[in-house]
Amino acid sequence: MEFMDQIFVNLKSTVLTLAGGFLPPWAVILLCAAISLGVIAVIGPVTMMYLTLIERKVLARMQNRIGPNRTGPWGLLQPLADGIKMLTKEDIVPKNADRIVHLVAPILIVIPALLVFAVIPFGKNMIPADLSVGVLYFLSISSTTTIAIFSASWASRNKYSLLGGMRAVAQMISYEIPMVLSVVPILLVTQSLSTGAIVRAQGAYGGWGWFVFTPWGFAAFITFFLCAVAECNRSPFDLPEAESEIVAGFHTEYSGMKFALFYMAEFMNAFTLSALAATLFLGGWQGPWLPSWAWFFIKTYALIFIMLWFRGTLPRFRVDQMMNLAWKFLLPLSLINILVAGFWHFANPPLAIGGSIAMLWASGWIFTRLNRDYTPEKRTYLFGE
Amino acid sequence: MTTRTNSLKTTMQTSKNYEVRDPQSSIETQTLAINVGPQHPSTHGVFRMNVVLDGEVVTSLKPVMGYLHRNHEQIAENMSYAASMPYTDRLDYFNSMTNNFGWALTVEKLAAIDVPERVEYVRVIMAELTRLVNHVSAIGFLLNDLGAFFTPVLYAFREREKILDIFEEVSGSRMMCNYFRFGGLRRDVTPAVLEKIRGIVNKFPAFLDEFETLLTKNEILCMRCQNVGILPRDLAVNASITGPLLRASGVNYDIRKVDGYSVYNRFEFKVPLGPKGDVYDRYYVRILEMRESLKILDQALKGIPAGEIMAKKMLPFVKSPRNFKPPVGEAYGRVEGPKGELGFYVVSDGTAQPWRYHVRAPSFINLTILEDMCRGQKLADAIVILGSIDIVLGEVDR
């Protein structure tokens, strides 16, 4: 058990010990960093490649289809085939496009998506860089995606792209606020911004002390997850690339590998945001029986599955409704949730549980009431003879 | 014509204020003219909308059509009556059976042909199956326009396939059926086919229930569809809108009831009417119409008599359709197609070819009020409103 749990850590230290036999100490430190970097550089794109396959398979099953199954067993080589196709496609740049920005935007969008892998605790002792400001680092790096998306849309000189870019900016900035605020209760309780420390704080009750089991943790998890779905532009918040309305949104004018980079960034964001949600609320690698890294991947992929499930079932929001949800519901709820977390921390257990559930329920009810115009109407249909 | 234009103008004036710019604001904004289509994922074919957007709000929308024009009417005037039958399949390629029905009905009216009873029943069965096919896929595509990633449309197509199998079995083709003949049908339906149709009729309500569980009360669907693209009752009547679009606006007008053509007056069914006339009502009226169609199918399957499948008068023309020369005169025949009133106007000069042939295409006429419904709505709504009209470009452009 312990062996399986630490197998990757031990592997790395063995390599480093062996290398230490004939390399100077500074080279060993470089090698240590290089191994972590190499692993991230491989995991990121491979995750993206296989997420496309998983998405297609899962959606196909939801839609009474089989999904890709021609390339390799269960279509396992499909991502490779797609990659080759993307690489060999013609790279088309519109005549009036801003060529430099058009080229740089897809690169800019991938870099933050890869950078945030650094603070994700993949397992016990398996965090590439346990920064003391890990969560802050993650949120600030991932927020730069907005710039890349907007420059892509602006540089394309296409009206659909422009509309998509406008939507993307409005959406991502709006949803960042409740997302950051929903993380605040966690920071209050754990008194740390380090992702490693946050996971260790959830180790109570034999690995079951996940924050999602507390009332404020649950509310924050829902808020965070909805915002995460909106942040990586996935259904039902896929307005920036709404196929039925604005063709492909901000990446309408991209083809070949540039387009693939947008896709890569989107899927890696989906993965890292799910991983962060799992880290903050679902106990990260904490859990009984299985190795820590197995728990981490199970939780992350469960959240990704929920994202795919959304995509397979839900229609899309309209722009104003999407903004309403962020500003009128999620933002006040996450603000109140900070108070609730403080109340939970200082009140005695029975009062804390009852009081915080009551506060959250009441505020949720009030916010739903305030947005009454958006609740469905009941209608009666007459029949003519 | 003048009354219609006037009333259109008044509705424009009375419709809600769509100006979103703040007149006091010092920020200068520009409108964005954008061409939605003819190559666009959601225009249901080669249809184009010249949209002027103020931010996301549609301030003007001009439908542009004609990309699929193929001279249908002129072609029909240069060939025999029977030869037009396969061409009508291509009008609304989702509902070839109903198109055949309309054309057959018109020529039978022109030449005063009495149709055997069994034929009438089979025609009604095929027309109602077509309605199921059309409405279920129309709802699926509407959900696609709403951004549901193909799931509803694939559920709908699963059921559509079963009905298309029936069409293939009776006519030899899934979509381009060319099944009706003047005074009869091309072939008889076998008892095995009727048994299969019975199976579909028995299972379809369960599918509709499933479909409704997933959609009708879905909150996002309600938010997106309710009070969007309202078509006022008066405007609907003045613009001669027909079909589910008109009934969703609360006008009790169904040609199956009004004309009682074929044997429709023998069946018990009701006409669902919408209270508001928005996209949601159009969606739900279609669901209710499918349920009524199932009632008609049930009664027709119970009451179908044995007998001939070709009128005596038309038997000589089965082998030589080009010799069919209806008497001099004119006729207008219409059926309640799934999209609205499908009418054929034909003038005969006594020769084997029609002197004038005209199609009243419901998709085309229903499209005329698109701008009135879309003005002041968001771009995303305009797409949904277009989807809720349920057009087929083969019929719009002809």
Q: Please classify residue A271 by burial: count the beta carbons closer than 10 Å to its beta carbon, then call 0-12 exposed, 13-18 middle and 19+ buried.
A: buried
Residue B214 in this model has a pLDDT that exceeds 50: yes
**pLDDT by residue (tens digit) across B200-209?**
999 999 999 9
| A205 inside domain | yes
Close Cβ partners of A207 (under 8 Å, ≥ 6 residues apart): A283, A286, A287, A288
Phi/psi of residue B258, each to 5°? -70, -50
In the numeric block, which tokens belong to residue A61?
A: 């099953």
**Helix, strand, coil proportions of chain A in percent (round to 5)?**
75, 0, 25
Report chain B's mean pLDDT, rounded to a whole number. 85
DSSP state of B115: P
H-state helical runs in B45-150: 72-77, 84-89, 96-111, 117-145
Interface contact A383-B146, CB threshold 8 A = no
Q: Is B95 exposed, middle or buried (0-12, 13-18, 19+ CB in 10 A)?
A: buried
Q: Is B279 on the interface with A (CB under 8 A)?
A: no
Tell me which residues of chain B, numbers 34 to 93, contact chain A at a CB-CB cutoff of 8 Å.
Answer: 34, 40-42, 53, 56
Rounded Cα distance between A353 and A227, Å, is: 25
Task: Answer for the pair A325, A317: CB distance below 8 angstroms, yes or no.
Answer: yes
- Distance between CA atoms of residues A42 and B356, nearest Å: 70
- Domain assignment present for residue A185? The answer is yes
pLDDT at A375: 64
CA B150, B151, B152, B156 torsion-angle sign: positive
Q: How confident is the model over A263-300, as pLDDT tens digits?
A: 888 888 899 999 999 988 888 888 788 888 888 889 99
pLDDT the model gives residue A97: 84
CA distance B271 to chain A (A): 5
The pLDDT value given to residue B20 = 52
Q: Which amino acid type is present at position A101?
A: V
Cβ proximity of B42 and B26 under 8 Å: no
Give the Cα separation of B398 and B394 in Å (integer): 6
Answer yes or no: is A385 within a domain: no
Tokens of B319: 């082998």
Residue-level pLDDT at B7 = 43
Q: Is A313 on the interface with B (CB under 8 A)?
A: yes
Interchain contact, B147 vs A312, CB within 8 Å: no
Distances in Å between the alpha carbon of B213 and those of B217, B218, B219, B292?
Answer: 7, 8, 12, 19
Domain annotation covers residue A260: yes
Cross-chain Cβ contact A383/B224 below 8 Å: no
Tell me the backbone φ, ψ of residue B136, rounded to 5 degrees: -65, -40
Specify the number of domains making up chain A.
1
ipTM for the complex shown:
0.81
**Can you give the three-state secondary structure of A284-315, one letter per residue?**
CCCCCCCCHHHHHHHHHHHHHHHHHHHHHHCC
A377/B contact by beta carbon, under 8 A: yes
A170: number of Cβ within 10 Å: 18
Whether A280 is in a domain gets the answer: yes
- Identity of residue B366: N
Flag if A313 and B148 touch (Cβ within 8 Å): yes
Which residues in chain B touch residue A317, judged by CB atoms under 8 angstroms apart? 220, 223-224
What confidence score (pLDDT) does residue B2 get? 42
Asked whether residue A288 is domain-assigned, the answer is yes
Which structural domain, as residue segments, surrounds residue A328? 2-380
Backbone dihedral region for residue A250 (phi beyond 0: left; psi -120 to 50: alpha; all else: beta): alpha
- Kindly tell me the burial class for residue A369, based on how many C-beta atoms sit within 10 Å of its own C-beta (0-12, 13-18, 19 or more): exposed
Q: What SS3 class is residue A187? A: helix
Between CA B152 and CA A313 the distance in angstroms is 8
Q: Which of residues 22-61 of A touch B (CB under 8 A)?
A: 59
- Residue type at A316 in one-letter notation: R
- Torsion from C-alpha of B152, B153, B155, B160, nearest 10 degrees: 150
Closest by CA to B174, choosing from B192, B162, B190, is B162
CA dihedral B73, B76, B77, B83 (to 10 degrees): -170
Phi, psi of B57 (to 5 degrees): -90, 135
CB contact under 8 Å between B273 and A63, yes or no, is no
Chunked mean pLDDT (size 10), chain A, 385 residues: 75 82 83 84 85 89 87 86 88 85 89 88 82 89 89 87 88 90 89 87 79 85 91 84 78 86 88 90 82 87 91 86 86 89 82 82 83 70 75
Q: Which helix (H) or strand (E) holds B68?
A: none
Spatial separation of the C-alpha atoms in residues B205 and B287, rounded to whole Å:
10
Give the containing element (helix H, strand E) for A384.
Answer: strand A382-384
B313 vs B366 pLDDT, higher one: B366
Q: Report the 10 Å Cβ neighbour count for A258.
A: 22
CA distances for A219 relative to A216, A283, B121, angstroms? 5, 15, 59
A237 touches chain B (CB under 8 A): no
* Contact criterion met (CB < 8 Å) for A245 and B380: yes
Tens of pLDDT, residue by residue over B11-53, are 444 444 445 556 676 777 778 888 887 888 777 778 888 888 8
B35 SS3 class? strand
In a domain, A147, yes or no: yes
Q: What span, in angstroms and rounded, lies between the C-alpha atoms of A274 and A224?
A: 10
Domain-embedded: residue A40: yes
| Reported confidence tier of residue B346, pLDDT bands at 50, 70, 90 | very high
For residue B13, the model assigns a pLDDT of: 42
Helix (H) or strand (E) holding A82: helix A78-88
Chain A residue numbers with beta carbons less than 8 Å from the beta carbon of B149 are 59, 235, 311-312
Task: Determine the distance in angstroms separating the CA of A311 from the nearest CA of chain B, rounded to an integer.
Answer: 6
Determine contact, residues A132/A143, Cβ cutoff 8 Å: no
